[in-house]
Amino acid sequence: MNVENNDINDSNCLLCLHLRKKSLFEVKSFSDSILYLNEDQFFKGYCILEYKRHVKELFDLTDEARDLYIKHLSLAAKALQKTFNPDKINYELLGNKVPHLHWHIIPRFKGDPAWSDPVWSKPHNPVNPPADQMNQFVAEIQKHL
Amino acid sequence: MNVENNDINDSNCLLCLHLRKKSLFEVKSFSDSILYLNEDQFFKGYCILEYKRHVKELFDLTDEARDLYIKHLSLAAKALQKTFNPDKINYELLGNKVPHLHWHIIPRFKGDPAWSDPVWSKPHNPVNPPADQMNQFVAEIQKHL
């Protein structure tokens, strides 16, 4: 792990805190990471794959740990493909605000609000579907995992 | 490979075409992919890792091919870390416009023009440094690969 250049560590990291809480939007807990449906569904099917340990960069992982994390990213993306049948999947690991490994996995559709640009090009108010819709999305993705 | 839902294939893909051309900004040719310094250096050190074969999604790769591609992504990111000492690296695989695997690998700095937002939040005119500056960047990244 390489967090010495950052003032965020596992005791004050928002993702570490989030991972400890029970979430209604948890899709699957893998051995190394947890897949959540993103609360904001402005982009339908948007999920986040949060790494369980506080690690900043991909190259801070061992080869084995990196391969496993990417395997789970790929499984999650494939499940989103089967669930929502998007035209493309976007995979983004940023962490500028919260430097703890987490993948944004975003199904993209021709005709979605930002197509064919990155999702960040479209500022918007969060869209929070009703609970039954969220539960249905979670259950459908789980079927494909 | 799964390209049947897309009208772009290896005969009319811009990335396939780019990969066949000699580029002044090539940093390294790996077995499966080529790392280029991005021509637009509005974000200093921005590189792109283009997969040699025309493949659309991560889950279209075999486990072995995916692991190798991610290994090279990680090596490239580590080289950028050593070269530019950024505060964070951003890793993005989008492909909405060109559905051929390619990673945007972007060193991010506190105080860069879009910090701490994604780079796409900051529309800008391309910044094309003079050739000697580009050559120097390429040479410095190569030293760490």
Alpha-carbon distance of B24 to B121, in angstroms, equals 28
Check residue B10 and give its pLDDT: 80
Q: Comparing C-alpha atoms, which of A98, A135, A120 is closest to residue A42?
A: A120
Residues of B with CB below 8 A from A76's CB? none
pTM of the model: 0.94
What does the block give as tokens for A137? Answer: 């999305």
Check residue B7 and give its pLDDT: 58
Residues of A with CB below 8 A from B57's CB? 77-78, 81, 88-89
**Confidence class for position A38, pLDDT limits 50, 70, 90:** very high
Q: For the complex shown, is ipTM > 0.90? A: yes
Name the CATH code of domain A14-143 (choices 1.20.1440.230, 3.30.360.10, 2.160.10.10, 3.30.428.10): 3.30.428.10
The structure tokens 């807990």 sit at: A29
Residues of A with CB below 8 A from B117's CB? 96, 120
What does the block give as tokens for B55? Answer: 């493949």
**Is the CB of A108 inside 8 Å of chain B's CB atoms?**
yes
Closest residue of chain B to A118, computed from CA coordinates:
B120
What does the block give as tokens for A110? Answer: 């021709």
What's the average model confidence in pLDDT over A75-95?
Answer: 98
B18 contacts: CB under 8 Å, gap ≥ 6: B50
Average pLDDT, chain A: 94
Average pLDDT, chain B: 94
3-state secondary structure of B41: coil
Q: Is the dihedral of CA B144, B16, B106, A30 positive or negative?
A: negative
A&B contacts, CB < 8 Å: 110
Closest CA of chain A from B93, distance in Å: 5
Residue B3 pLDDT greater than 50, yes or no: no
What's the average model confidence in pLDDT over B107-117?
Answer: 97
**Is the CB of A144 inside 8 Å of chain B's CB atoms?**
no
What's the average model confidence in pLDDT over B101-120?
Answer: 97
From the CB of residue B79, how many other CB atoms can be counted at a distance below 10 Å? 23
**Is the CB of A109 inside 8 Å of chain B's CB atoms?**
no
